[in-house]
Structure 1
Amino acid sequence: MNNDKSLTIKTLSPKDAEQYIALRLDALKLNPEAFLTTYEETIQDKNLLDTWKTRLTPTPSAFTMGAFIGDSLVAVATLIRESHVKLRHKASLVGVYSTPAQRGKGIAKKLISAMIEKARELDGLEQINLTVASENMAARQLYLSLGFQVFGTEKNALKHNGVYSDEDYMALAL
């Protein structure tokens, strides 16, 4: 990586774990409604660095991509392919996050577009699914602009600190 302010998108690896963890912890604090895991659950992991080094090791069924401005990780997204034979034609897009300072600049769209292109290279993969908080209009619009379509809504999908959030289910046919 260089120190200029150009945008770079790449598949993350274990060497990116420290930056990923820092970004993830910020995400869990700033936007807890967007994630299944809580900040408190995450920091309880006594081996957090090793956990994420393992998770960031790309496999044929899972990989995380990141967007960097210079050397700074500013956005992330993970694709996880289904493991059951009857579901292998599908994958899930999870853990999507962009720093507040970089929102609205097209970085997440470029990141997810790159992820979709990489997903198209996976033999037999036909569909990418995701869930998004129904009230997160910016994220919903981003996914719609990339060709995802809503196919259902789960009422009260998440409950955090006594507050319920609905989630929209979206899919993109590859």
Structure 2
Amino acid sequence: MDQTHDLTIRILQPEDAESYIALRLEALQQNPEAFLTTYEEMRQDPNMLETWRARLKPTADLFTVGTFMGRSLIGVATLRRESHLKLRHKASLVGVYFTPAQRGRGSAKMLISHLIEIARKQEGLEQIHLTVASDNLPAVSLYAALGFTRFGTEKNALKYDGVYQDEDYMTLFL
């Protein structure tokens, strides 16, 4: 657990599901272009609380780190390690979101740095991959500052409301 200026960074647990759901729904409304799931798709789950309690149960291969300001969850990032034997040396950074009022203050860098430090301790894990909207320059800059390098761009990777979104592929070698 990392604590700085009323911020606490820790791995989320099933009991954090309500806070996570609220932040995730905000993310899907604020930045729909940044996520595969839509707000409408997430809202369709009649057992949303139970679904997210199960998903937030951390394992060595899948966990979500959150930043709290006091009791409020303000940012999240998930690390998902590959399960196939030939891919076990890789993991993906997904579901990164910070509430707009907290962006540009260094909190996201602290959160992802914390996640990277946890990843470095995992035996045999060598790389973290991510995709990021090519035009999301603050996020691209943040990942570059943390040591991620771009190795490709997928044109028209996502399509939402008739608008295409290119995505950059980035990796960090641990």
**TM-score under structure 2 normalisation?**
0.97
Aligned counterpart, 1:139: 139
Aligned counterpart, 1:116: 116
Aligned counterpart, 1:85: 85
Please tell me the residue identity of whatever aligns with 1:63. Answer: F
Consecutive aligned runs of 4 or more in structure 1 exceeding 4 Å deviation: none
Quick one: distance in 2 between partners of 1:60 and 1:11?
11
Aligned counterpart, 1:148: 148
Quick one: distance in 1 between partners of 2:90 and 2:51?
25
Quick one: distance in 2 between partners of 1:169 and 1:11?
25
Distance apart, 1:126 and its partner CA:
0.1
Quick one: distance in 2 between partners of 1:162 and 1:85?
38
Quick one: distance in 2 between partners of 1:72 and 1:41?
25
Quick one: distance in 2 between partners of 1:51 and 1:130?
24
The aligned runs of 1:6-155 (5 Å cut-off) are: 6-155=6-155
Distance apart, 1:60 and its partner CA:
1.2
Q: Percent identity?
A: 68
SS in 2 for 1:58: coil
Quick one: distance in 1 between partners of 2:138 and 2:87?
29
Number of residue pairs the alignment of both structures matches: 170
Quick one: distance in 1 between partners of 2:91 and 2:34?
19
Quick one: distance in 1 between partners of 2:38 and 2:96?
15
**TM-score under structure 1 normalisation?**
0.97
Root mean square deviation, CA, Å? 0.6
Please tell me the residue identity of whatever aligns with 2:22. Answer: A
Distance apart, 1:122 and its partner CA:
0.6
Unpaired runs of at least 5, structure 1: none
Please tell me the residue identity of whatever aligns with 2:88. Answer: R
Quick one: distance in 1 between partners of 2:122 and 2:101?
33
Please tell me the residue identity of whatever aligns with 2:43. Answer: I
Unpaired runs of at least 5, structure 2: none
